[in-house]
Amino acid sequence: MAVFVGVGHFVKAKTFAEYEKKTLAVVDDRLPAARERDREETTAYGVLDAAAGRYRIPVDEAVRAMIGHPESLAPIVFNQPAAEEASEPEAADGAAPGAGG
């Protein structure tokens, strides 16, 4: 029984090694172009939409800008309620809002 298990593991390993050599080791022809495009988009300046004032800057430059001026980062707020809905009514008797009474 142990011999069959050992042979089974050997056959699986050999089959996977052949599969890996034939399939996984093959580089897709599109990979070099994709790598170049990614490098360009992350390391170079560019115009995204001049009319809207959108430009691309290198990632390293963007990180340095954010670290140097964190106050310039505006938080993204989704589904923000209107100002009158967001504020809690003040208690008439001087108790803390929401204290119930």
Per-residue pLDDT tens over the stretch 61-84? 988 888 888 777 776 667 766 666
pLDDT in tens, 2-57: 555 555 655 666 787 887 777 777 778 899 999 999 999 999 999 999 998 888 99
- Let me know if residue 6 belongs to a domain: yes
pLDDT in tens, 24-38: 777 788 999 999 999
Predicted TM-score (pTM) of the model is 0.42
Run of H or E including 49: strand 46-49
- Let me know if residue 94 belongs to a domain: no
- Let me know if residue 60 belongs to a domain: yes
> What is the total count of domains within the chain?
1
- Let me know if residue 87 belongs to a domain: no
Q: Which residue has the tokens 């034939």?
A: 22
- Let me know if residue 89 belongs to a domain: no
- Let me know if residue 61 belongs to a domain: yes
- Let me know if residue 80 belongs to a domain: no
Structural domain that includes position 48: 2-29+39-73
- Let me know if residue 50 belongs to a domain: yes
Helix%, strand%, coil% for the chain, nearest 5: 50, 5, 40
